């Protein structure tokens, strides 16, 4: 039912847009478009475009950081669960290099949160609340994206960063075990946060639980035999 389409290339990186991504954006922003108010519809359009660009810039942060370490991204996918930067080959073994690549995405969200918050404050101070509203929403969304992506769970940036350092200290098997168990705890916490009506976040919790359970099973569970 849902297909992806190529929307262009940025610095040689092909960008694909999954139709599920569009659907999720519309689900989150539909209140702006149902009242028939043109100002609210304009604000909704700014929010939709801003969210798309925020997630795209997050992934471009990973891609451009990768280039600093000779790891080139082949393409970026914008999916219903966010975005994914696909690299042409394995990332460097260096924990520092991996951390720089993984944390570049949340760093972009940090900059957007601060910048959009400043613009929202300026718009409100100049008597333009209908511009301040979508800018404030986008600032809050980027703060959420930054915090969520820093959680210690696969395949989030925080989990991958923790895995890089634990792998250097304890070896790859124990690093996966530790991060995967933390990830399962994060999935449970997200599920409790989403109850009873946060259907999308429940779906995210299920995705996190599945990804971290599979990671744990890939190293034989919590057994010491591997």
Paired tokens of 197: 């009506």
For 1-10, the CB contacts below 8 A with 24+ separation are 2/80, 4/77, 10/60
* Residues pairing with 10 in the sheet: 13
Residue 157's CB is within 10 A of a number of other CB atoms, namely 25
Residue 106's CB is within 10 A of a number of other CB atoms, namely 23
**Tens-binned pLDDT, residue by residue, of the chain (226 aa):** 458 899 999 999 999 999 888 888 888 888 888 877 888 888 889 999 999 999 999 999 999 999 999 999 999 999 888 899 999 989 999 999 999 999 999 999 999 999 999 999 999 999 998 899 999 999 999 999 999 999 999 999 999 999 999 999 999 999 999 999 999 999 999 999 988 878 889 999 999 999 999 999 999 887 655 5
pLDDT of residue 224: 59
Sign of the dihedral defined by the CA atoms of residues 5, 155, 52, 74, in that order: negative
The distance of Cα 122 from the centroid of its chain, to the nearest Å, equals 27
Question: Which residues neighbour 53 within 8 Å (Cβ) at sequence distance 6 or greater?
Answer: none
Closest Cα to residue 153, out of 129, 120, 188? 188
Pair 64, 76: CB distance under 8 Å: no
Angle made by CA atoms 80, 81, 85, in degrees to the nearest 5:
100
Paired tokens of 204: 């995210």
Provide the 3-class DSSP secondary structure of residue 139.
helix
* Residues pairing with 4 in the sheet: 18
For 192-201, the CB contacts below 8 A with 24+ separation are 200/24, 200/27, 200/28
Whole-model pTM?
Answer: 0.92
């Amino acid at each position: 039912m849902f297909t992806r389409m190529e929307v262009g290339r940025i610095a040689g990186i092909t960008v694909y847009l999954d139709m599920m991504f569009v659907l999720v954006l519309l689900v989150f922003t539909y209140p702006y478009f149902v009242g028939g108010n043109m100002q609210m519809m304009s604000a909704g359009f700014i929010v939709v475009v801003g969210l798309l660009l925020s997630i795209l810039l997050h992934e471009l942060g990973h891609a451009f950081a990768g280039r600093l370490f000779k790891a080139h991204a082949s393409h970026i996918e914008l999916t219903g669960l966010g975005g994914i930067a696909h690299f042409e080959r394995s990332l460097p073994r260096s924990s520092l290099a991996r951390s720089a690549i993984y944390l570049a995405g949340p760093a972009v969200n940090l900059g957007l949160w601060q910048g959009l918050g400043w613009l929202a404050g300026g718009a409100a101070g100049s008597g333009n609340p209908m511009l301040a509203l979508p800018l404030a929403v986008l600032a809050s969304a980027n703060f959420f994206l930054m915090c969520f992506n820093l959680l210690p769970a696969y395949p989030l940036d925080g989990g991958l960063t923790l895995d890089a350092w634990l792998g250097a200290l304890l070896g790859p098997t124990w690093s996966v075990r530790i991060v995967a168990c933390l990830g399962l705890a994060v999935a449970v916490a997200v599920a409790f946060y989403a109850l009873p009506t946060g259907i999308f976040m429940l779906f995210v919790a299920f995705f996190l639980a599945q990804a971290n359970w599979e990671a744990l099973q890939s190293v034989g569970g919590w057994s010491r035999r591997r």
